Chains A and B, each alone.
Chain A
Amino acid sequence: AQSVTQLGSHVSVSEGALVLLRCNYSSSVPPYLFWYVQYPNQGLQLLLKYTSAATLVKGINGFEAEFKKSETSFHLTKPSAHMSDAAEYFCAVSDRGSSNTGKLIFGQGTTLQVKP
């Protein structure tokens, strides 16, 4: 079975500072991993995904994530935070035990606060 754990339910950074949101996964098969963002009063939208190609994945809005098998991690980073990055971020793993019907297993989410 697959699962993800997001470390830290709330992260606060200053505008211009590095953003680091942590995600660790557990999977008995090579995982497919996703980061989604949810802005206030909106649905989730895809930031980026890892599907076993390059281990460093670049996404929208300057975000990137690196797949590290040895650490079972898929942390999300952005070099310089912007006020518009304030949102909730979800890490997810594809449930490859469900006949690959597209089911994702989501983490509990991390709220990113950006201070001026």
Chain B
Amino acid sequence: DAGVIQSPRHEVTEMGQEVTLRCKPISGHNSLFWYRQTMMRGLELLIYFNNNVPIDDSGMPEDRFSAKMPNASFSTLKIQPSEPRDSAVYFCASSSSGGAGTDTQYFGPGTRLTVL
């Protein structure tokens, strides 16, 4: 299995530009999670989907952030416009949620975003 795939692995952009991060979950997994990790704030859950439907987006910092999951094999996290404080490592994770709460989340390698 290829695991969770994220692209790009590194992104450097200028303030005000639009940034799109991409994630391909493990085939057959029905839950997908977007996290952000910084030194100051640690690991934060931004949003998660179950069966392609957003369940909880309360972690999305503001309206500049949006996420979509058009199908079971693809999700995007978009920042528009980007700001320097968005600089972080963004992780995507997926799990096969059988409803018992015992599921392992599998993390991708992350996208390191730098906003200048």
Q: Is the interface of A mostly helix, strand, loop or mixed?
A: loop
User: How many contacts between A and B, using CB within 8 angstroms?
Assistant: 69
- Which of B33, B91, B102, B109 lies in contact with A103, CB distance below 8 A? B33
Expressed in whole angstroms, the minimum distance between the Cβ of B46 and any Cβ of chain A is: 12
A101–B43 CB distance below 8 A = no
Known contacts: A32-B102, A49-B102, A106-B43. The answer to whether A101 contacts B31 by CB under 8 A is yes
Chain A contact residues (Cβ within 8 angstroms of B): what range? Answer: 20 to 34
* Cβ contact within 8 Å between B107 and A100: no
Is A90 in the interface zone, CB < 8 Å from B? yes
The complex places the Cα of A32 from the Cα of B97 at a distance, in Å, of 14
Scan residues 52-100 of chain A and give those whose CB is less than 8 A from a CB of chain B. 90, 94-96, 98-100
A residues with CB within 8 A of B: 32, 34, 42-46, 49, 51, 90, 94-96, 98-104, 106, 108-109
